[in-house]
Amino acid sequence: MERSSRIKIYAMTFLAALALAMPAFADEFDIFDEQKLLEIKPAILQKMGVRLTKVKYGDSTKSIKLPGIVNTDETSTFTVNTKFGGWIERLYLDYTGKTVGKGAKIAEIYSPEMVAAQEEYLSFLRHANGFKTQQDSYGGVFADDAKQLAAGARARLKYWDMSEAQIRELERTGKTRRTVSVYSPSNGYVLAKNVSAGMMVQPGMALFTLASTDRMWVIADVYEEDMKFIRQGATAKFTLSSQPNVAFDIKADYIYPEVSPNTRTLKVRFPVVNRGNKLKPAMYGDITLNVKSGKILKVEEDAVIDDGKRKIVFVSKGEGKFEPREIVTGVKADGFYEIRRGLKANDVVARGANFLLDSEAQLKGINPVKVQ
């Protein structure tokens, strides 16, 4: 066989084999085809309720949940004492933990000093009133002196914490009281009781230590990874474990300077107004803070379709054309998704009726672009 004939036979055999193999390679070359776009007329998009939005950078909000324990407000504790000596004849606060209202009587004390001071005031008061009837100049001079002496005796009673109501009662009746009543200066409960009925007390001696229940402290334990987000003045919500439907608005007013060596947490203090006296010391609850954690690339929540396996957006290519595209998201907060991969700033995507676009794309066999 001549050489030229053999070449022709080889060429024909190669072409035949290539023709048979081409269908097998056709699918492999499909990846180089241009991505199919979903095309919908603008009037139909408007009827569907589809809107466009830009992917952009914005502040990220991080929600932090912390354990909190209710504590007594240390600045609201106070000591009840007297500025005079005497003997306790009756005690109304007779055990630790008992609650007391502001202005409530807590003890009756017999004090010879107070009895003498009352008698002195009444004596000067009678002299001052007696000089009022004298019309001569000497009577006027003595009346002024008596008034000053009476005013000084009255002030002494005030300095010894005799109430205005008690002094007025003394003036009205003209009779000294054998015992002086001691009243609570604030709402609270007894932290420490240092006296019993019949005891002798000295000036300045602590009879009781009381803590106010009007305001409390909630102490939070902040873990090390969250410490960078906590700032003085940060606002939060506090809910009790026993009453999850009741929330208290709180604000951090102090960050303690030391980390606990045992728990590796930092304590933060949140004062709280004790509405309805619901909060009791040692109660547990949850503190929820929403703090800014920096700038992130984000898009509105209703621009993202989440089918449980992947997240898809429809990227606008203009003139009613959309490219379905898979994306990778981060946290979701405040109506936005954080974009990790698949979109860049200023990309325009559809929002509002994406499920209709998704249904149309599936009917037309248009698959989402895989995330890069």
- pLDDT averaged per 10 residues in sequence order, the chain, 372 residues: 56 52 44 68 85 88 87 88 91 89 90 91 82 55 75 87 87 89 86 91 91 90 86 91 87 92 92 89 90 82 88 90 91 83 92 85 86 70
Q: List phi, psi (to 5°) of 351.
A: -145, 160
Are 144 and 132 in contact by the 8 Å Cβ rule? The answer is no
Q: What is the pTM of this model?
A: 0.57
Show the domains of the chain with their CATH numbers: 32-60+295-363 (2.40.420.20), 64-73+215-292 (2.40.30.170), 74-211 (2.40.50.100)
Alpha helices per DSSP H over the chain: 3-29, 42-48, 112-131, 137-159, 164-173, 354-363
Dihedral angle computed from the Cα positions of residues 294, 332, 233 and 220, in that order, rounded to the nearest 10 degrees: -120
Distances from the Cα of 247 to the Cαs of 162, 267, 332, in angstroms?
42, 21, 23
Run of H or E residues at 336:
strand 336-341
Are 287 and 265 in contact by the 8 Å Cβ rule? The answer is no
DSSP assignment of 171-183 equals: HHH----SEEEEE
Residue 217, pLDDT score: 95
Q: Which residues pair with 58 in a beta bridge?
A: 296
